[in-house]
Structure 1
């Protein structure tokens, strides 16, 4: 993403500051398989771009998706921006890497059953 495009983006919605990120809150947000898969998809397929809920192709009610995306944002895992009626999300990679080095590497490497199997 070019600097001009980045500068033209709307301000992010309310989120915790980097220094206020807490490991137990971040891990709690990532403990749900759907939220973990959302974050993995962003990290692996769209690390430089924010994405709308529809991009994920998740077959769940809109209210359910709104709940999951809000929890990720409030935990400090993702950043959301409002574009008209659409909210787009991206992982707060720099903030999470600074506070919890290696955490996102584990998320990227995770596959269902890999930690238990």
Structure 2
């Protein structure tokens, strides 16, 4: 991992450091999967943490975003006082071809089946 010397610079794993088991763990939580599903619909857009209407407290939301960042699923950067989140689709697709697409497709099908869009 790169070391952040500035507290406003967040640590992310380099592409070659992203581990499959960490990605799968991050995506195994329904709240984190919901975040990633929403980001995937954004086609490369950056979203502030407050953009997501999550059924959890702010501190729990912060935890979920940290897990996504530390696993290599998202990249977070500060823009002013907002922390912006971007899906690391290119990195994930390069390392695990088809994985993210398969997970997102399955998650959408499950949401449709359960009426949990």
TM range (shorter): 0.7 to 0.9
* Partner of residue 64 from structure 1, selected from 60, 64, 81: 60
Instruction: Report 1:40-59 matches (<5 A).
Output: 40-44=37-41, 46-59=42-55
1:16 positional shift: 0.4
Residue matched to 2:27: 30
Q: Is the 8 A contact 2:44 2:87 kept in 1?
A: no
Q: Is the 8 A contact 1:21 1:75 kept in 2?
A: yes
1:107 positional shift: 2.5
For the residues of structure 2 that align with 1:73 and 1:109, how far apart are their CA atoms? 22
For the residues of structure 2 that align with 1:88 and 1:110, how far apart are their CA atoms? 26
Residue matched to 2:81: 85
For the residues of structure 1 that align with 2:29 and 2:108, how far apart are their CA atoms? 12
1:53 positional shift: 1.4
Q: Is the 8 A contact 1:97 1:103 kept in 2?
A: yes
1:112 positional shift: 6.8
For the residues of structure 2 that align with 1:91 and 1:113, how far apart are their CA atoms? 20
Of 19-28 and 101-110, more deviation after overlay is shown by 101-110
4+ long deviations beyond 6 Å:
none
Q: How many residues align?
A: 104
Matched, 1:96 2:92: yes
Q: Is the 8 A contact 2:26 2:32 kept in 1?
A: yes
3-state DSSP of counterpart to 1:15: coil
> Structure 1 regions of 5+ residues with no counterpart?
1-10
